[in-house]
């Protein structure tokens, strides 16, 4: 059962674009019951993903602006 849980976590962490080191740290924290550390690491990854999302949104807005300029 523990191997299945670890595999599920590893799969999910890869989906979050966690590198191998971070994934190992999160899984170690989860399996040892250190939920504070696991939460901190996951929040850090969430912030990284949100930063990338916001950067992509700015690029989409810029593309829209340039397309608008072409239509003028």
Contacts of 37 by beta carbon, 8 Å cutoff, 6+ apart = 25, 29
Show the low-confidence residues of the chain (pLDDT under 50): 1
3-state secondary structure of 19: coil
The DSSP letter of residue 72 is -
- The per-residue pLDDT for 37 is 98
Listed residue (11, 17, 14) closest to 53, CA to CA:
17
- The per-residue pLDDT for 65 is 97
Helices (H), ranges, 1-72: 2-15, 20-31, 35-71
- The per-residue pLDDT for 4 is 77
pLDDT tens digits, one per residue of 47-61: 999 999 999 999 999
The pTM score is 0.82
């Amino acid at each position: 059962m523990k191997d299945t849980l670890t595999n599920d976590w590893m799969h999910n962490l890869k989906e979050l674009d966690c590198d191998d080191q971070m994934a190992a740290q999160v899984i170690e924290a989860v399996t040892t019951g250190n939920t504070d550390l696991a939460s901190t690491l996951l929040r850090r990854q969430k912030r990284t993903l949100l930063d990338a999302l916001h950067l992509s949104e700015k690029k989409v807005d810029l593309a829209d602006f340039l397309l608008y300029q072409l239509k003028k």
